[in-house]
Amino acid sequence: MRRNRRPKHSQTRAINVSSESDLILEDTAAHTDSHDMSDEKALSHSLLDPAAWPHPVAEVRVIETHISWVFLTGEYAYKIKKPLTLSFLDFSTLDLRHRWCEEELRLNSRWAPQLYIDVVPIAGSAGRPKVG
């Protein structure tokens, strides 16, 4: 997952996060990892808990794209790559998602270093995840 700091003028910064537990939120037919969907739904729900984040959070909002989930936690935005394979990308394994988080950070931080901060892990369990 990638974490970004949200500037005061409401522009969002991003942070890529890779999950140590490999329980990334996913509910799509393109899913290639063999996960118990109840674990993924539990993780998705659990990441809406402000206590899951490494800084004070009043409210968590999530935006879903076709390849990622973006969790808005106030000052920071966290982007989690979905475990899927499409004709133009392969995020099917934790190692591949981590590699592409690092690559996104490397490329984007050249042009927006104040927005692209770090790649951080998700540890813990689906029911009690800890980011960072």
Tell me the pLDDT tens digit for each residue of 64-87: 888 888 999 998 999 988 888 999
Supply the range of the domain harboring residue 13.
Answer: 2-131
Tell me the pLDDT tens digit for each residue of 19-57: 433 333 322 233 334 444 455 667 778 999 999 999 999
**Which residues share a beta bridge with 85?**
90
The strand pair at 68-72 and 76-81 is best described as antiparallel
The domain tally of the chain equals 1
Rounded Cα distance between 101 and 95, Å, is 10
**Does position 62 have pLDDT exceeding 80, yes or no?**
yes
Rounded Cα distance between 71 and 30, Å, is 22
pLDDT band at 3 (very low <50, low <70, confident <90, very high): low
Q: What is the mean pLDDT of the chain?
A: 76
